Amino acid sequence: MTRMLIIGPPGSGKGTQAERISERLGVVAISTGDIFRANVKGETPLGIEAKKYMDAGDFVPDSVTNNMVRDRLGQSDVENGFLLDGYPRTTAQVDYLDQILAEGEQELDVVLQLTADDEELVTRLLGRAKETGRSDDNEAVIRHRLDLYHEQTEAVVAKYAERGILTQVDGIGGIDEVTDRVLTAIESAKAV
């Protein structure tokens, strides 16, 4: 059983790698971004609220995100493990996730951080925006999201590093090359 997080700046390949890790390890990948986008597309009340923040490049408030994650982690398909992508983003969310896991007498096995240069990420995200037409990917919003990542999420990374469960992997390179690095890093972390 593997319970893990994948963390990294926007555009670092978290979603792609999460799918591959999920497939290889047989755990459910849970992406808060995908859940938000589905709600936006379906114009649900959550989606309408989330869209305001997403279009500005801001994080959706903890109150909305925490409840969504709690509900998702309570579903039966996560009993054999999970891979969270996009959560937690703040130290307050780390504390909330700790609480959820403690209630089920669980803890995280590994936190995987994909690293990448900001300028490489801006180029990558602008390319993705052209391909997919995502309204939340223009240069000003991308740079704002990267600033938020550095400001808020790096404290999350530091917290997991202190616990000794953080593994960093270079997220730049071909998809298969990054996947190989990721899987090797996960196996090494689990062996400790």
For residue 40, the one-letter residue type is: V
37 with 30: CB under 8 angstroms?
no
Domain boundaries defined on the chain: 2-191
Active site residue 3: no
Q: What pLDDT is recorded for position 135?
A: 66
Q: What is the pTM of this model?
A: 0.83
Task: Tell me: is residue 14 an annotated ligand-binding position.
Answer: yes
Determine whether the annotation assigns residue 72 to a binding site: no
Query: Per residue in 73-106, pLDDT tens?
Result: 888 999 889 999 989 988 999 999 999 999 989 9
With respect to CATH, is domain 2-191 assigned 3.40.50.300?
Answer: yes
What would the pLDDT profile of 98-140 be if each residue is shown by its tens digit?
A: 999 999 899 999 999 999 999 999 999 998 888 887 666 788 9
The pLDDT tens digits for 21-70 are 999 999 999 988 777 787 788 898 878 888 888 888 787 888 878 877 88
Catalytic residue among 20, 51, 89, 124: 89
What CA–CA distance (Å, rounded) separates 126 from 138? 6
